[in-house]
Amino acid sequence: MVEDGTTKTMTKMEAAVKRLVEEAINGDMYAFRVLSVLSQAMQEAEGSATSAELEGADKKILETLFRRFAPAGAAQS
């Protein structure tokens, strides 16, 4: 794809999204709706992965705190 007078290499997906953005900017409502749906889907996918990662990290932190602050007799049960 030629951009600013230079040839730029990109994937087909990147080129398709770039074209959708250009069409949406030029007033194509269909392109705008497609971009909106893609954006929401990506945010939901990123959010669910992030939540799972945080849950794992939170669990490790809580386990460490429980071991650190547990009464001496409770740790040996």
Tell me the one-letter amino acid at 55: E
Q: What are phi and psi of 6, to 5 degrees?
A: -120, 150
Q: Strand, helix or coil at 39?
A: helix
Q: Is the pLDDT confidence value at 77 over 90?
A: no
Q: Strand, helix or coil at 17?
A: helix
Q: Is the pLDDT confidence value at 8 over 60?
A: yes
What lies within 8 Å, CB to CB, of 24 at 6+ separation is 31, 32, 35
The whole-number pLDDT of residue 5 equals 84
pLDDT, the chain, mean:
78
pLDDT digits (tens, 9 = 90+) for 16-44: 888 989 999 999 999 888 888 888 888 77
How far, in Å, CA of 55 to CA of 16, rounded?
35
pLDDT digits (tens, 9 = 90+) for 33-75: 888 888 888 877 766 655 666 677 777 777 777 677 666 665 5
